[in-house]
């Protein structure tokens, strides 16, 4: 069985190392990818939605996060992932919500893999508010038969930042999480921070703990609004 390699997100592989997957061309496929936010009051940042070649993946569970995954998970920055996906010939329709995807809403991306070797589907975006949590569907094989296929996506922890649940800049390597307007409006302040440390590897997210003290306590997250359990997204893939 071929071992799935990372897209370079963790190991910095160059595009030249991905020549093998291009030897065979995938069957033509028009795809629609609908992402629905299943949480109560949590947001998804702009999402990467991409079809990419066999032998590549966004990340490996249990491995250290790449700088591209770290940027997504800590600050919602998909630019590095976009650049890397472009370098290996991936088909992309990123940021289908044109900003934050709010709880209960959905957004739809369209992909055409005609003439490409892009046979795997991946989706990824930051979960807000978290320190370094991200929702992802990682390298699902795109069905060759026309039809509608449903997947439930989990939230993962990049392991690059301590889950202190305190408002911060969200810059990679710094504590805290970004708080754009609609997110900040639902957060508390004055938290002392939940004891935590960066785990150093990607794993299933524990969810946020939060508290009910809007002007103190340990967390700046309101547990009555932002607590969630996996899965956090429903992804409906239609193959035409």
Residue ranges of domains in the chain: 28-240
Average pLDDT on 2-18 reads 35
Domain 28-240: give its CATH code: 2.60.40.2130
Which of 110, 118, 103 is CA-nearest to residue 44? 103
Distance CA 88, CA 18 (A): 7
Condensed to tens digits (0 to 9), the pLDDT of residues 164-214 reads 999 986 665 567 888 899 999 999 999 999 988 999 999 999 999 999 999
Mention every residue, 6+ apart, whose C-beta is less than 8 A from residue 185. none
pLDDT band at 28 (very low <50, low <70, confident <90, very high): low
Distance CA 74, CA 175 (A): 9
Q: Is the pLDDT at 19 greater than 90, yes or no? A: no
Average pLDDT on 28-42 reads 93
């Amino acid at each position: 069985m071929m071992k799935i390699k990372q897209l370079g997100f963790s190991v910095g592989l160059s595009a030249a190392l991905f020549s093998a997957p291009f030897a065979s061309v995938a069957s033509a496929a028009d795809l629609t990818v609908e992402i629905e936010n299943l949480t109560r009051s949590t947001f998804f940042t702009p999402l990467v939605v991409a079809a990419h070649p066999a032998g590549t993946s966004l990340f490996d569970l249990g491995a250290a996060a790449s700088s591209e995954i770290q940027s997504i998970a800590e600050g919602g920055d998909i630019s590095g992932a976009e650049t890397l996906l472009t370098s290996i010939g991936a088909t992309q329709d990123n940021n289908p919500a044109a900003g934050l995807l709010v709880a209960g809403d959905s957004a739809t991306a369209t992909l055409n893999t005609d003439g490409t070797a892009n046979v795997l589907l991946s989706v990824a975006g930051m979960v807000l508010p978290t320190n370094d949590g991200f929702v992802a569907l990682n390298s699902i094989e795109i069905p060759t038969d026309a039809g509608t296929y449903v997947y439930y996506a989990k939230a993962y922890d990049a392991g690059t930042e301590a889950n202190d649940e305190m408002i911060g800049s969200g810059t990679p390597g710094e504590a805290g999480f970004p708080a754009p307007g609609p997110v900040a409006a639902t957060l508390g302040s004055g938290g002392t921070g939940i004891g935590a440390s960066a785990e150093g590897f990607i794993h299933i997210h524990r969810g946020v703990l939060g508290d009910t003290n809007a002007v103190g306590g340990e967390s700046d997250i309101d547990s009555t609004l932002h607590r969630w359990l996996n899965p956090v997204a429903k992804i409906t893939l239609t193959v035409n």
